[in-house]
Structure 1
């Protein structure tokens, strides 16, 4: 313990720009103009957003998936991977209304097959522990061939491994000599994204950035933000926060060249003393900060935390297929169940957005229908009926479009043709267990 403290005390100026994994990709054009969400377009964000909000406690329900650590069993500069995965994990849980199961995407697969966009083309297979840009992950996950399995396919190792099938989804069986044979799992559930967007840019004003981040968090879930993590934040977060009612505040002068980290923002609040703060998730373990999380001053772009934030919309069609009995699994992964066979469902409830969000989205649509130079109709007025009819029609069209899209995309699970029959699967498994 004393040795560790002495090491920390000896950190000097050379450590001021320690990199936790963020590496800006210059091939991305900087965003200069961002479409805003509905609340700010009407200039009433402050009136519609709650004073405090935290996805870890929405009417007593936690929508935040488990915390992890990027720096063990060896040091790995993978914050960009961890931040995106944490954001997508939580958004999956939010979209599915905290229904079974919690999904944790495979961080190690992104480490093994780290993506990078160059000259308009995407390549994978870089070393993820060497750092990267979260936007490259979004571009990759838009393509189905780059979709990710969950953590059970490839547990986190904090090491750069090969980008191949074995290091995408792996299973192991014991051998007679006490060892193990590990083999590729050919069929497993995968997850991607349908879209991504920039939430803020450095060119936006402070109030505009703050409102944009709040609106996105409230409407859809946590966001990923670039961050200049200075040594004080890393090593003395708690001590500094204790001086300000539990909120980290700093006057450190940093520039875009000091951005070295990606974090996740999942809420906001204000202390009894009137200090506004963000609720943030880090990837340094639950022994750091506030059980792995932190609170940092809001609205002042502290350590540039508000200057460049992004988000993405995850997909989970294949999970619904599996939960509804369209596939069954074994040591070699998923297999198609005969369409004529009896189906069942493991879903504990209907997958949908939290009730308060559904209400907010319905209100949004009413506001949009009422725009165009006129005030939106008031509840109880006769003029509301045409809007309600339009709302019902819009919702019906949206449901119809979603159903068609879901049916077209229903086969989002990688299935190996060799494993269609029980006999073929048994032969494959026997061969895999006996391979050397």
Structure 2
């Protein structure tokens, strides 16, 4: 008679490193069952305490944050999620952690410590000619944050390095990367998103928009959370899909040291970061966020655009979210810097814009000649 062990139990055995040799089979399974029931009981208790169908916004959480003198930030009942359940909110948190077996092959960028960095830095003012840096978008009901963080950062970097304002298509990456990047609206890997930008590029937002003309009837906005289909055809008949592609030269991680992250943003522009989201983050209104209360809900990816220090001496990162301007501080938020708050300094990914397939015509004012590169 063969005994079958579920994949979960098998992994549990491996993780616990239990010695099977010499242990009576009945005793082993008795111990294993007790351990399994303990874990299963903890999971049930957690799910019971965190009712997925309950509202994500709770006055009790906002009150707990606002009455805590050590919190450092203000909580509120944000209009953006006034009708959301915990389950619906969790669907927005689509950043998956890079598998450990992949990390060894990923280039890690660091910068010279001799580089002098300002105390406060905001990419919106440093490159004021780049309109994309200050845009706050809306991912709708889709867990596409992993795609937004990458495409927004690359759009900004095209302006910073090539002096051209261009909005690239989140929808191209979300719909066409497929299983290589993850699961579309059910989440993806920021690093793999950047690899897609290297090998396949993305078209312009004009060619393949995330939202259509009515504002939010695109698949990314539907409550069904369906991943859009990859069509590979521009909505405008005047544009060609392949010619609209824009690429990244590279895909890399930035060393988790805060100085390296600051130097990367200072030299090359905004980066994509991923971090762990707890219930209280949904209530963020202003100030420098740090986790105070609530259950862990998932991973989220956003665009990091700067840093600074408050009058009280609290160091922070400045980030642009893609939950519309109804959430947070006009769509932005700050989070503690230098303490790896919620893992914000561990998963920093980026790449540089490529001249591949990119032609820019510049009119020479002296002789009217067109120069391309």
Distance between the aligned counterparts of 1:28 and 1:210, measured in 2? Answer: 24
1:139-190 deviation digits (Å, cap 9, x = unpaired): 22222xx221100111113152332333xx2236xxxxxxxxxx98456321
Find the counterpart in structure 2 of residue 24 from structure 1: 97
273 and 259 in structure 1: CA distance in 2 versus 1, 3 angstrom threshold: same
Find the counterpart in structure 1 of residue 49 from structure 2: none
Q: Number of matched residues?
A: 279
Distance between the aligned counterparts of 2:86 and 2:232, measured in 1? Answer: 43
Find the counterpart in structure 2 of residue 9 from structure 1: 58
187 and 248 in structure 1: CA distance in 2 versus 1, 3 angstrom threshold: closer
Find the counterpart in structure 2 of residue 219 from structure 1: 267
Runs of 4+ in 1 over 6 A off after TM superposition: 10-16
Find the counterpart in structure 2 of residue 79 from structure 1: 145
How far did 1:289 drift? Answer: 1.4
Question: Residues 34 and 200 of structure 1 are in contact (CA less than 8 Å); yes or no, is this contact kept in structure 2?
Answer: no
Aligned with 1:66 (options 129, 135, 144): 135
34 and 252 in structure 1: CA distance in 2 versus 1, 3 angstrom threshold: farther
TM-score, scaled to structure 2: 0.65
Aligned with 1:138 (options 194, 207, 212): 194
Q: List gaps (5 residues or longer) in structure 1.
A: 118-123, 173-182, 202-208, 326-341, 348-405, 407-436
How far did 1:115 drift? Answer: 4.1
33 and 60 in structure 1: CA distance in 2 versus 1, 3 angstrom threshold: closer
Aligned with 1:55 (options 114, 123, 129): 123
RMSD over aligned Cα atoms: 3.5
Matches within 5 A, 1:9-408: 9=58, 19-26=92-99, 29-31=102-104, 37-40=110-113, 44=114, 48-58=116-126, 61=129, 64-71=133-140, 75-97=141-163, 99=164, 102-117=165-180, 127-143=183-199, 146-156=200-210, 157=218, 158=220, 159-166=226-233, 169-171=234-236, 185=240, 188-200=243-255, 209-234=257-282, 236-238=283-285, 241=286, 246-251=287-292, 259-321=298-360, 323-324=361-362, 344-345=369-370
How far did 1:37 drift? Answer: 3.5
How far did 1:20 drift? Answer: 1.6
Find the counterpart in structure 1 of residue 13 from structure 2: none
Distance between the aligned counterparts of 1:300 and 1:32, measured in 2? Answer: 26
Distance between the aligned counterparts of 1:317 and 1:296, measured in 2? Answer: 36
1:297-356 deviation digits (Å, cap 9, x = unpaired): 1111111111121111112454434x359xxxxxxxxxxxxxxxx985499xxxxxxxxx
33 and 110 in structure 1: CA distance in 2 versus 1, 3 angstrom threshold: closer
Q: List gaps (5 residues or longer) in structure 2.
A: 1-53, 60-83, 211-217, 221-225
How far did 1:21 drift? Answer: 1.2
35 and 134 in structure 1: CA distance in 2 versus 1, 3 angstrom threshold: closer
Question: Residues 153 and 171 of structure 1 are in contact (CA less than 8 Å); yes or no, is this contact kept in structure 2?
Answer: yes
TM-score, scaled to structure 1: 0.56
Distance between the aligned counterparts of 2:57 and 2:292, measured in 1? Answer: 22
